[in-house]
Amino acid sequence: MPARLLARLLGAALAVVMFTAGLSLLPGAGMAEGQAMAGGSPQRWTLSDAAGQRWGLVLFEQPDHIYPAGPRLRLNALTPGLQIDHLRPLQVDDGAGQQWQLPNRSEELVAAEETALPQGAAQFDAAGLMPAPSDLRPLRLLVPVANGGADVSLMLGADPTKQLARRAADL
């Protein structure tokens, strides 16, 4: 097996293990996750897009006092090589005409002195879900992809949709 392929497979396996164990591969993000757990457990789901690429979705309250408080939605590409555009918002729709744009808050993923954002992870301000979506309709996330690629569509099942709607209704 070529060394490059083996390295990609090992990296993907490590990302999956770290995600399911509740750890983060992002610099500075491990502490934020631990703090969020103390104030209320983050909720985690694993999703797949139409191409079979796997994504981790985390919903949590921003625990770091240097950033505005509120719910955050973090997306982690579990398939190596995916790059998220950190300059564009996350598009959300319910398939019945209701649409939202969640501001990109990826700068919260790294320490203040860092300038390089993680290519395969992004964070969005879930407070942008106003008015709150219905928890009866599945939500579609349109993930902004870097380098001119087609944005990735992710469908949320009943549980993540219900949790997002509940957080938005509590705002």
Model confidence pLDDT, tens digit, residues 19-55: 444 433 333 333 333 333 334 689 999 999 999 999 9
The residue with greater pLDDT, 35 or 128, is: 128
Model confidence pLDDT, tens digit, residues 131-155: 999 999 999 999 999 987 889 999 9
Bond from prior residue into 131 cis (ω within 30 degrees of 0) = yes
pTM here is 0.76
Phi first, then psi, for residue 140 (nearest 5°) are -115, 130
Query: What is the DSSP secondary structure assignment for residue 113, as one 8-state letter?
Result: T
Phi first, then psi, for residue 111 (nearest 5°) are -65, 155
